[in-house]
Amino acid sequence: MTLRRTCIASSLALFAAASLSACGDANDRDTSTDIEVTTDTDTSDSVPDAQPDTSTDIEEGSDTGDTALDAQPDTSTDIEEAADSADSADTSDTIPAPLAALPPWLAYCDGAACDAYDPVVLAVCPEVTPSCLPTGTATVLPSIDGHRITAIAFLAALPEGHTLRVVSGQASLGGPIVTAYAPRVEVRSDVAIQVTYYDLPLAAGDTLALDFQSTSQTSDVLDSVFYRHAAWDTGTAATELHTRGQATIRAERAATGITSEKVHAFFMPTELAAVQGEGNFSYGDGRITSNYGNPPYATALGGILPVAFPRFAHECAHELFDEVRASYPGNYSCLNEGVADALAFVVGSLPEVDFGPIGLRGDDFDDGCADLNEIHDVGNCPLWHAYRAGLLTEGFMRGVFQPGRVLDFDSCDLHSDRTGNTLFVLFAEAASDTPELAPIGPVLDAMGVPHAASYAAALAALGLSAR
Ligand SMILES: [Zn+2]
C-alpha cells in the first residue's frame, strides 16, 4: 500500500454538546477533515490537526501498522466481552482474555512502561489568577478493560469562574476538551470538577480509573471492537454495527466487483477517538476507525448507529478504492471522497442528505460544481449530478471502480478541460455499454464543468481510444 485516503467527521461536534447547534442542520458533516496516510514517505512525524472546518493531510510511515491487531487471534467466533479488570485476567486458574485490539493511535502500557511517560499535569485556577498552581492533586488513569492506555481525551467541566491550563506534559486543550498523550493525567485543583460526558466527579486526592469496556466480534469479512464507558448504555450498538457492517462490506464489494483486506473496525466514543483528530479513518490495510461521539451528540443525531454507520460505510469504500487507485494516477483525492459517499449511498448505508445536494460548506450542488473547494464537496458534486440524471447505479459504481483504462487527471480541478473530458469518458463508460450514446454532456453542463462536445471528442482531447 502506498497511499490511503481517509475521511473523518466532525471533531468539535463530537466533543461538546455546546457545538451541537453547529452540526444539527440538514447536513451534520460540516466540519469534516481529511487525513491522508501514506506508507511511501518518511515524513511520519506529523500529527493530525483537530481543528474543524479545515482539510488536513498527514502522512504516516509504514511502520505505524504494528498495532495490537497483529497479536489478536482470529479464532473466536462469538462476541467476546473483555475481562472486567486486569486483576481478573491475572488469576492463575483462568486463561487471561486477550487484550482488545486498539486503534492505531493507542497502546497499552503497564507498570514501569506507563511510568516511563511524562504525566500530563493540568491546573484548574480562578480566572483572576490563571497561572495559579493549586496544591490539591487528582489523578486520571485511562484504561481499556482495566489495562492502562497511553492517551485519552476528556471533557473537563469546571466551576463557574475557573479556567484550565496545561502545566506540563504532552497535551492540548480544545475548549473544555483535554487531549492528553500520557497514561497519567494529574489535575491540580483546589475545587472539585467533573470529567467526561458521564459527569464523573474528580476532587483532590482522587484517583479516577477512567476505564472503557471492549466488545470484540469476529467474522469472515469484519472484525470489530466496540469500546464504551460503563456509564453509557450503548444498547445493541456493538452488535448492530458488527452485523450491519458485514452486510455493507459485502454489498460494497458486490457492487464494485472489488475486494480488499478483511476489515478491522474500531468503534469508539469521543474519549478514545478524539485522541487522533476526529477519529474516522481508513488506513488502506483493512483498518477502519469510527468515532461514535458522546451521549448528547449521539442523542441529537438519533443514536450511535446514525453517527457511526454512514462513516463506517464511507471508510469501507475507501478501502476498496485503495485497491484501484492505480487506475487514477493523477490527483484522485476528490474522486476518492466522492465515490466513498456515492458507493455507501448506492448500497443503502449512507443517507441521501449525507451525499447531497447541500455540501459541507453549505453550497448547493444543484447550482454547479466548478467553484466548490471542499474536498468532499468537489468529489460528491459530479456524482450527485450523475444521481440526478438517473445514472448512479451499482453498475455505474462498478464502472468507476473498474474503469478498464488509466485516467490521469486532477479530480479536484473542476475548471479543467482535462478533468471535464475525463469525467465525460469515465461517466459515459460507467453508464453504458454504448458510451457514445450515454447522455453525459447535459450532466457535465449541470455541473458547470467544461467538456468536449461528445464522448468521441472527449476521448480525442485526452488522446485516448474507444474501448
Ligand atoms: Zn473520506
Greater pLDDT, 60 or 251: 251
- Reported as a pLDDT band with limits 50, 70 and 90, residue 123 is very high
Residue 81's pLDDT is 66
Q: How many angstroms separate the alpha carbon of residue 144 from the centre of ligand 1?
A: 28
Q: How many angstroms separate the alpha carbon of residue 337 from the centre of ligand 1?
A: 5
Q: How many angstroms separate the alpha carbon of residue 451 from the centre of ligand 1?
A: 27
Instruction: Check whether 57 has a pLDDT greater than 60.
Output: no
Q: How many angstroms separate the alpha carbon of residue 315 from the centre of ligand 1?
A: 6
Q: How many angstroms separate the alpha carbon of residue 443 from the centre of ligand 1?
A: 24
Q: How many angstroms separate the alpha carbon of residue 316 from the centre of ligand 1?
A: 9
Q: How many angstroms separate the alpha carbon of residue 201 from the centre of ligand 1?
A: 37
* CB contact at 8 A, 289 and 273: yes
Q: How many angstroms separate the alpha carbon of residue 117 from the centre of ligand 1?
A: 33
Q: How many angstroms separate the alpha carbon of residue 335 from the centre of ligand 1?
A: 10
Q: How many angstroms separate the alpha carbon of residue 227 from the centre of ligand 1?
A: 22
Q: How many angstroms separate the alpha carbon of residue 181 from the centre of ligand 1?
A: 25
**Segment (H or E) for 125:** strand 120-126
Q: How many angstroms separate the alpha carbon of residue 8 from the centre of ligand 1?
A: 6
Q: Which of these, 69, 76, 62, lies nearest to 100 by C-alpha position? A: 69
Q: How many angstroms separate the alpha carbon of residue 4 from the centre of ligand 1?
A: 10
- Reported as a pLDDT band with limits 50, 70 and 90, residue 35 is very low
Q: Which of these, 192, 296, 312, 202, lies nearest to 247 by C-alpha position? A: 312
Q: How many angstroms separate the alpha carbon of residue 360 from the centre of ligand 1?
A: 13
Instruction: Check whether 24 has a pLDDT greater than 60.
Output: no
Q: How many angstroms separate the alpha carbon of residue 223 from the centre of ligand 1?
A: 21
Q: How many angstroms separate the alpha carbon of residue 340 from the centre of ligand 1?
A: 6
Q: How many angstroms separate the alpha carbon of residue 409 from the centre of ligand 1?
A: 19
Residue-wise pLDDT tens digits, 65-98? 333 333 333 434 456 666 444 444 444 566 767 8
Q: How many angstroms separate the alpha carbon of residue 437 from the centre of ligand 1?
A: 32
Q: How many angstroms separate the alpha carbon of residue 425 from the centre of ligand 1?
A: 24
Show me where the domains of the chain are located: 339-462
Average pLDDT over residues 228-234: 97
d(CA 157, CA 159): 7
**What DSSP designation does 457 have?**
H
Q: How many angstroms separate the alpha carbon of residue 49 from the centre of ligand 1?
A: 16
Q: How many angstroms separate the alpha carbon of residue 9 from the centre of ligand 1?
A: 9
Residue 110's pLDDT is 86
Residues with CB under 5 A from ligand 1 (ion): 7, 337, 340
The C-alpha cell of 446 is what? 449541470
Q: How many angstroms separate the alpha carbon of residue 302 from the centre of ligand 1?
A: 22
Greater pLDDT, 12 or 347: 347
Q: How many angstroms separate the alpha carbon of residue 368 from the centre of ligand 1?
A: 21
Residue 318's pLDDT is 98
- Reported as a pLDDT band with limits 50, 70 and 90, residue 467 is confident
Q: How many angstroms separate the alpha carbon of residue 161 from the centre of ligand 1?
A: 40
On whether the pTM is more than 0.85, the answer is no
Average pLDDT over residues 389-418: 98
Residue 93's pLDDT is 64
Task: Give the end-to-end CA distance of the chain in Å, rounded to a whole number.
Answer: 29
Q: Which of these, 116, 80, 85, 84, lies nearest to 101 by C-alpha position? A: 80
Q: How many angstroms separate the alpha carbon of residue 375 from the centre of ligand 1?
A: 9
By three-state DSSP, how is residue 361 classified?
coil
Residue-wise pLDDT tens digits, 301-315? 999 999 999 999 999
Q: How many angstroms separate the alpha carbon of residue 318 from the centre of ligand 1?
A: 7
Across the chain, what does the average pLDDT equal? 85
Name all contacts of 422-425 with Cβ < 8 Å and 24+ positions apart: 422/458, 422/462, 423/382, 423/447, 423/449, 423/451, 424/451, 424/452, 424/455, 424/458, 425/455, 425/458, 425/459, 425/462, 425/464
* Burial state string for 180-190 with b = 16 or more CB within 10 A and e = fewer than 16: bbbbbbbbbbe
